[in-house]
Structure 1
Amino acid sequence: MKRVGCSVLVTIFAVVGGLFLTAPSAGAAVTALEVSPGDWGQTLVYDLGCTYQMTASTAPLTEGGIHFFDNGIRVGSAFPVYLSGKATIAWTPTTLGIHELYAYHLVPPGYTTIHVLVVPCPGDCNVPHL
C-alpha cells in the first residue's frame, strides 16, 4: 500500500473545501417595479413632463444591471444596490396616454411590467390634481 504525501492531501482538502466555501453566483429576476411619487402617493397616474423615480427590486446580492423601458424604448439602466437589491433611475414621461413600463434583468432573465396613465401636467409638477 502506497502512502499519499501530505502535500497531496492538503491540495485535495483545499480544492474540496473551496467548493463548499465559495459564495454562489448571485442573480435574480426583477420581482417588483414602482414609480414614485405619483399623484397623491403611489398611484398609477403621472404627469407629462414631470420627473419620477422608477425602482426595480431583485433579490439582495444580485449581480448585473437592470434595464428600464417605457413602451418598449429603453429609458435607462442601473445596477442594484448590493444589499437591498433595488435599482433606481429618473423617468420623465414624454407622451400622454397609457404607458407600459418594465424593468428587465438579463441573467437570470426576468422582468416585471406595470401599466400607468400619463396625463397633462396641471402646471406645477409638485401639485397633484384630482
Structure 2
Amino acid sequence: MTGTARTAAALFAAAAATVLVAPSAHASVQSLAVEGSTHVVGGTYTLTAQVGGASGGLLVYFSDNGEFIGAPTVPWPPGSATIDWQPSTPGRHILTAEQGGSTQSIVVEVEEAASPGSGSGSGGSGTGSALLRGLLSGSSSGS
C-alpha cells in the first residue's frame, strides 16, 4: 500500500468511527394541546403539537385512541404541527402526537352533542296518527 492509500484509508476509518459514535439527533414532541375546553361529538377542534430537536422537520402523526387522524403533517411553521380533529363518539379520548419515536398524549372527555330542538315529538293533537290509521285500514275519513 502506498503512503497516499494508507492516509486515505486512515482518514476513511476515522470518519466512519466519528459517524458511528456521534450522538443521534432525536425528534422531540414537547407538548400537545387541543383547542377549547368543552368537546362534543361532531365538533371540530385543532390539535397542536410543539416539536423540537434536530429532526424537527420529520412528519408528525396524530391519533385518537390509537386510530390515526388524517394524514401525517409537516411541522409548519417549523416547530409546530396542527391538524383538525372531529370526535365521532362520546367518552374518554386519548389524543397522541408522535414524531420519530417521541410521543405526547392528552386525555379529553367528549360529550354527546345537544339534541336539536326541544319539541315533544308527539304529533300535536294526534290527527296525523288518526289519518295514518285510517289510510292503513282503508278508510279515507281518518277516523
- Whether TM exceeds 0.5 here: the answer is yes
Counterparts of 2:26 and 2:115, CA distance in 1: 42
What's the TM-score once normalised by structure 2's chain length?
A: 0.58
Decide which of 47, 51, 69 is 1:75's aligned counterpart: 69
* 2:39 alignment counterpart: 46
CA contact (8 A) 1:26 1:63 kept: no
Counterparts of 1:123 and 1:26, CA distance in 2: 50
Of Structure 1 and Structure 2, which has the larger fraction of its residues in strand?
1
Gaps of 5+ in 1: 1-24, 125-130
Matched, 1:87 2:84: no
**Which has the bigger relative contact order, CA under 8 A and spacing at least 6?**
1
Structure 1 consecutive aligned stretches of length 4 or more whose deviation exceeds 6 Å: none
Matched, 1:111 2:103: yes
Does the C-alpha gap of structure 1 residues 86 and 26 become closer, same or farther in structure 2, counting only changes over 3 Å? farther
Of Structure 1 and Structure 2, which has the larger fraction of its residues in helix?
2
- Structure label with greater radius of gyration: 2
1:28 CA drift (Å): 2.1
Decide which of 105, 112, 115 is 1:120's aligned counterpart: 112
Tell me the amino acid that sits aligned with residue 46 of structure 2: Q
What's the TM-score once normalised by structure 1's chain length?
A: 0.63
Identical-residue share of aligned pairs (%): 35
Does the C-alpha gap of structure 1 residues 35 and 86 become closer, same or farther in structure 2, counting only changes over 3 Å? same
1:53 CA drift (Å): 0.4
Matched, 1:63 2:63: no
User: Matched residue of 1:98: which SS?
Assistant: strand
1:121 CA drift (Å): 1.9
Task: Kindly report which structure 2 residues correspond to 1:4-23, keeping only aligned pairs within 5 A, or say none.
Answer: none
Gaps of 5+ in 2: 1-23, 117-143
User: Matched residue of 2:89: which SS?
Assistant: coil
1:120 CA drift (Å): 1.3
